[in-house]
Amino acid sequence: MTAGALQRAIRRAGQRAAVERCGMCAGPVAPEHRHVWDEQDGELLCACPPCSLLFERESAGGGRYQLVPAHGRRLTGLSADELGVPVGLVFFVKQRDGRVLGHYPSPLGTTESEIDADAWRAVEARSPALAGLAPRVEAFLLWTGTQSGGGQQWVVPVDDCYRLVALIRRHWTGMSGGSAVWRAIPGFFEELDRRHGRHCGDE
């Protein structure tokens, strides 16, 4: 995803138009809706229920469009230290060429860096969920938590990550973020657990 396309996705995640439109057929979509990854333009498109059903078939996208999964799953036993991550909140997205990019949320959006291939393969070898991570449309989301706990690891639809970045941008104040953002982040992970927690992850 290009920097411009990522910023557009984050901006859409943080704002609600009066009537959101499907990026495929221009029909209205509900506040909670699916997304389709557009490989050609490098961005996420909103998708109404009929278009979402169409792209459930992998071949329907003709190599250009890919439906973002609806469900995530919580993982255990993995560490950001193994991947050389310097911060406590990051999501990883696999590219079609096999590279993995780490995205670090901030009040300005995200910064990204390429993850060492050997380090990723070592972690992936212990986790079937990471080995099966769908390029572009799924992400490995890792939060180390706070001093009182709360560290979590997830495989999630990539649009969840854009919602998290939008949340951080919306609540961040001052140099350190302020108390509002540090309350909002645990709330985001609680909501992940409500929506995706019933799905099994690695043990």
pLDDT digits (tens, 9 = 90+) for 83-142: 888 778 999 999 999 999 999 998 888 889 999 999 999 999 989 999 999 999 999 999
Q: How far apart (Å, rounded) are the C-alpha atoms in residues 60 and 78?
A: 35
What is the reported pLDDT for 202? 56
Please determine, for residue 168, whether its predicted confidence score (pLDDT) is greater than 90.
yes
Task: For residue 181, give both structure tokens.
Answer: 């953002």
Please determine, for residue 27, whether its predicted confidence score (pLDDT) is greater than 90.
yes
What is the reported pLDDT for 133? 95
Q: How far apart (Å, rounded) are the C-alpha atoms in residues 72 and 14?
A: 21
Across 13-22, average pLDDT: 66
51 conformational bin, left if phi > 0, alpha if psi -120 to 50, beta if neither? alpha
Please determine, for residue 11, whether its predicted confidence score (pLDDT) is greater than 90.
no
3-state secondary structure of 159: helix
Please determine, for residue 58, whether its predicted confidence score (pLDDT) is greater than 50.
yes
What is the reported pLDDT for 124? 92
The string of pLDDT tens digits covering residues 70-90 is 999 999 888 778 888 877 899
Across 52-61, average pLDDT: 81
What is the reported pLDDT for 176? 79
What is the reported pLDDT for 198? 62
What ranges in 15-101 are assigned the alpha helix state H? 49-54
Mean pLDDT of the chain: 85
What is the reported pLDDT for 2? 47
Please determine, for residue 1, whether its predicted confidence score (pLDDT) is greater than 70.
no
